Amino acid sequence: MQEAIPYKSYMAATAGGRSRLHNFLEGAGNGGEHRLVANGCENSVTKLVVENAVIVFGRRGCCMCHVVNRLLLGLGVNPVVCEVNEEKEEAVLHELSVINGGGVQFPAVFVGGKLFGGLDRVMSTHITGELVPILKEAGALWL
């Protein structure tokens, strides 16, 4: 899928001379993941969380993040992936913690605007069969 993310126009409005979110859209090679690089702009992260049914935050090049993405893709989910640069890591984590009301670690999966958990939780809920219904309810999956 090569179409623009709906909130692109929203981003242009909030750019405000500070930092800007760059959208990198990957093609069929990655099965349609939407890959973003976050620069820690004040509300951008919150917007991402709210606007997307499923979004994965992780460090750039993190292999655990890759595992989460592969798993979600395998289920038929189109996860939005936000790769965080090292410099912006702290800022992004901070903002995510504010959203969550508690500590957040990478990789972090947000479902339906709330923190779902890390790879641990994704794995265990997947094995027990709880993951798919949760994803469906959040609108990330439909049959």
Partner 1 sequence: MNSPTPQFVPSRLSIYEPIHQIGIWGENFKRNGNPNTSTSLIVEVDNKLENESETTSHEMLAPTNNYEQEASKPIDKIQRRLAQNREAARKSRLRKKAYVQQLENSRLKLIQLEQELQRVTQQGLYMGGVSEGSHIGFSGTVTSGIAAFEMEYGRWVDVQHRQICELRTALNAHISDIELRILVKSGMGHYFELFRMKSTVAKADVFYVISGVWKTSAERFFSWIGGFRPSELLKLDPLTEQQILEVCNLKQSCQQAEDALSQGMEKLQETVSSTVAGGPVAEDSYIPQVATAMEKLEALVSFVNQADHLRQETLQQMSRILTTRQAARGLLALGEYFHRLRALSTLWATRPPEPSLP
- If one asks whether residue 43 binds partner 1 (CB under 8 A), the answer comes out as no
- Residue from 5, 67, 91, 134 touching partner 1 (CB under 8 A): that is 67
Listed ranges 36-44, 77-85, 89-97, 123-131: which one lies at the site for partner 1 (CB under 8 A): 123-131
In contact, 58 and 81? CB cutoff 8 Å = yes
- If one asks whether residue 87 binds partner 1 (CB under 8 A), the answer comes out as no
Q: Which residues bind partner 1 (CB under 8 A)?
A: 61-64, 66-68, 70-71, 74-75, 119-120, 123-124, 126-129
